[in-house]
């Protein structure tokens, strides 16, 4: 059942003889179109505003954005020629229209690595959103996923590689599920606001990490002069299929993220759980009246979301980071970028995927490694990314806000 039909089913009929209904909103006549138009407009506004900021600083925004674009590696697709590429996991070579070993290819690999984590963290926000909850705790769930992956990955050195990497990834997503499940359980049992509890869980995760990986902490590596963990064992590393593992080549994590996107779509649109989750999101009272356990769905939605974010953390460790330093923990923002991606993608599978790519490219393109400092200071560009991210949430919220307001109005009318 589509969202529109579901919404109609759970909406009460207007009272007979009531005030005349307002005319249908102009935009709602283009329902299919506005789905994509509003986020696109938001992105354009945010980038124009960012360009204005660059202009005020006395730099040429067109040049800066061009340099950022080249840093993302997306320009790789424009350089078509006749090359040979190695078939992944074999020694055979085949003809290929793009040069798989160019600098742009390396940049693209890193963009896609970031995209992997952002997609998963985006889904961690999107899933509870469909259930009427706002999971602001993707960051904490992501972090606990990285902790457990580092711990297990660096612990059992002689384990079978397949078992080892599977253990890390599964344990990471399980702990993420537990971390989010706390907030879901509190919401389901005592009605504690999930925003408050997830904010608190985020910071708890940060400080626990500072303790675990800090100087003298239990997960600090064997080099006691720096607060960085040991590298995970070779068996705990995800296979890299494009590029070199030493240079942060692309691991198969991206396929896992894409698979989870499909799973998300299937759960939401093709299963009883998804139906119930959406019904609760539209109107918890009506859902309860219809025999759906609201509490169970609150808990499940949060736990599943947490498993997505925890998976993102585990994939980052096993896919390319391989270790974790104390200093990386408080500056990491992937969970929050996932939040922006989910809002921009309007919580749909395809939308989260595309905005994940956008944010992954933006972060990679403005990173100190990719951006030419003679064109624009990378540390300025990093802040520019944060500004664009904030503007995107601010303006895309305008659109989502109308939806939320109507959901809440319905919910209130029902109580």
Partner 1 sequence: MTALAARLGGIRWTHPRTVGIAGIFLGAVAFWLTLPPLAARTSALPILVGLLAIAAGIWAWARDERRVGGGAVAAGLLGIAFGFLATQSSTAHLDSVVVWSALLAATLRYATPLTYAAIGGLFCERSGVINVALEGMLLTGAFFGIWGAIWAHSWAGGAAWAVGLLIAALAGMAMAAIHAIWAIHLKVDQIISGTALNFLALGITGYIFIDKYGDTGTPGNVADYGIPDVHIGFLKSWYFVGPIIGQLNLMIWLSIVLLVATYVFVFRTPYGLRLRSVGEHPRAADTVGISVYRVRYAAVIGSGAIAAMGGAYISLGFVHSFSENLTAGTGFIGLAALIFGKWRPFPTWGATLLFGFSSALADRLPNAYGNQWGTLFQALPYVLTIIAVAGVIGRSIGPAAAGRPYEKQ
What is the binding site for partner 1 (CB under 8 A)?
Answer: 53, 57, 134, 136, 182, 186, 190, 192-193, 195-197, 199-201, 203-204, 206-208, 210-211, 214-217, 330-331, 336, 339-340, 343, 377, 379-380, 382-391, 393-394, 397-398, 400-402, 404-405, 408, 412
**DSSP 8-state secondary structure symbol assigned to residue 228:** B
Q: Choose between 213 and 242: whose C-beta lies nearer to partner 1.
A: 213
Q: Choose between 348 and 385: whose C-beta lies nearer to partner 1.
A: 385
Candidates 228, 198, 200; CA nearest to 213 is 228
Q: CA 378: distance to chain centroid?
A: 23
Q: Choose between 136 and 256: whose C-beta lies nearer to partner 1.
A: 136
User: Rounded to the nearest 5°, which phi and psi values hold at 240?
Assistant: -95, 125
CB-based contacts of 258: which residues, under 8 Å, 6+ apart? 119, 353
The sign of the CA dihedral 312, 315, 320, 325 is positive
Q: Choose between 155 and 204: whose C-beta lies nearer to partner 1.
A: 204
Q: Choose between 207 and 289: whose C-beta lies nearer to partner 1.
A: 207
Candidates 248, 234, 233; CA nearest to 107 is 248
Q: In angstroms, rounded to a whole number, what is the distance separating the alpha carbons of residues 176 and 295?
A: 20
List the beta bridge partners of residue 95.
84
- Closest approach, Cβ 242 to partner 1, in A, equals 32
- Closest approach, Cβ 342 to partner 1, in A, equals 11
Q: Which pairs with CB-CB distance under 8 Å and at least 24 residues apart come from 328-332?
A: 329/143, 329/206, 329/209, 329/210, 329/213, 330/206, 330/210, 332/139, 332/142, 332/143
| Residue 310 near residue 141 (C-beta atoms within 8 A) | yes
- Closest approach, Cβ 129 to partner 1, in A, equals 10
Q: CA 401: distance to chain centroid?
A: 20
Q: Choose between 340 and 371: whose C-beta lies nearer to partner 1.
A: 340
Q: Choose between 86 and 377: whose C-beta lies nearer to partner 1.
A: 377
- Closest approach, Cβ 262 to partner 1, in A, equals 27
Q: CA 387: distance to chain centroid?
A: 18
Q: Choose between 205 and 236: whose C-beta lies nearer to partner 1.
A: 205
In angstroms, what CA-CA distances link 378 with 81, 221, 262?
31, 30, 35
Q: Choose between 364 and 385: whose C-beta lies nearer to partner 1.
A: 385
- Closest approach, Cβ 340 to partner 1, in A, equals 8
- Closest approach, Cβ 8 to partner 1, in A, equals 22
The label of the residue with tokens 């590029």 reads 243
- Closest approach, Cβ 159 to partner 1, in A, equals 28
The 10 Å Cβ neighbour count of residue 180 is 34
- Closest approach, Cβ 185 to partner 1, in A, equals 9
Candidates 118, 135, 120, 148; CA nearest to 209 is 148
Phi-psi region of 240 (alpha: psi -120 to 50; beta: other; left: phi over 0): beta
Q: Choose between 92 and 224: whose C-beta lies nearer to partner 1.
A: 224
Candidates 193, 172, 33, 174; CA nearest to 128 is 193
- Closest approach, Cβ 104 to partner 1, in A, equals 27
- Closest approach, Cβ 168 to partner 1, in A, equals 24
Q: In angstroms, rounded to a whole number, what is the distance separating the alpha carbons of residues 187 and 303?
A: 12
Q: Choose between 38 and 256: whose C-beta lies nearer to partner 1.
A: 38
- Closest approach, Cβ 44 to partner 1, in A, equals 17
User: Rounded to the nearest 5°, which phi and psi values hold at 19?
Assistant: -65, 150
């Amino acid at each position: 059942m589509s969202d529109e039909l579901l919404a109609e089913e759970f909406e009460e009929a207007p009272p007979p003889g009531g005030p005349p209904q307002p005319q249908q909103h102009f935009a709602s006549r283009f329902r299919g179109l506005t789905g994509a138009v509003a986020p696109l407009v938001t992105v354009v506004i945010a980038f124009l505003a960012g360009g204005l900021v660059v202009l005020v600083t006395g730099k040429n925004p067109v040049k800066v954005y061009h340099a950022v674009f080249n840093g993302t590696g997306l320009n790789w697709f424009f350089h078509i020629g006749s090359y040979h590429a190695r078939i992944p996991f074999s020694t055979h070579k085949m003809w290929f229209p793009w040069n798989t070993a160019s600098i742009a290819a390396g940049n693209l690999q890193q963009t896609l690595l970031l995209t992997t984590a952002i997609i998963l963290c985006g889904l961690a926000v999107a899933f509870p959103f469909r259930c009427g909850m706002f999971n602001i705790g993707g960051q904490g769930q992501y972090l606990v996923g990285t902790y457990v992956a580092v711990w297990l990955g660096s612990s059992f050195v002689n384990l079978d590689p397949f078992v080892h990497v599977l253990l890390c990834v599964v344990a990471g997503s399980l702990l993420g599920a537990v971390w989010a499940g706390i907030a879901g359980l509190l919401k389901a049992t005592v009605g504690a606001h999930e925003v408050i509890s997830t904010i608190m869980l985020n910071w708890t995760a940060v400080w626990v990490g500072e303790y675990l990986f800090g100087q003298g902490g239990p997960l600090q590596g064997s080099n006691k002069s720096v607060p960085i963990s040991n590298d995970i064992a070779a068996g705990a590393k995800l296979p890299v299929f494009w590029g070199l593992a030493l240079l942060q080549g692309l691991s198969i994590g991206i396929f896992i993220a894409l698979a989870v996107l499909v799973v998300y779509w299937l759960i939401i649109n093709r299963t009883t759980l998804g139906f119930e989750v959406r019904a609760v999101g539209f109107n918890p009272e009506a859902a309860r009246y219809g025999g759906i356990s609201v509490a169970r769905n609150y808990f499940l939605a949060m736990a599943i979301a947490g498993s997505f974010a925890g998976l993102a953390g585990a994939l980052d460790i096993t896919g390319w980071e391989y270790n974790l330093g104390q200093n990386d923990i408080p500056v990491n923002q992937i969970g929050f970028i996932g939040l922006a991606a989910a809002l921009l993608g309007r919580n749909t599978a395809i939308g989260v995927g595309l905005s994940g790519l956008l944010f992954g490219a933006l972060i990679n393109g403005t990173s100190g490694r990719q951006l030419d400092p003679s064109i624009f200071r990378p540390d300025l560009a990093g802040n520019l990314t944060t500004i664009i991210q904030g503007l995107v949430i601010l303006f895309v919220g305008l659109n989502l806000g109308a939806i939320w307001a109507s959901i809440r109005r319905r919910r209130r009318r029902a109580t």
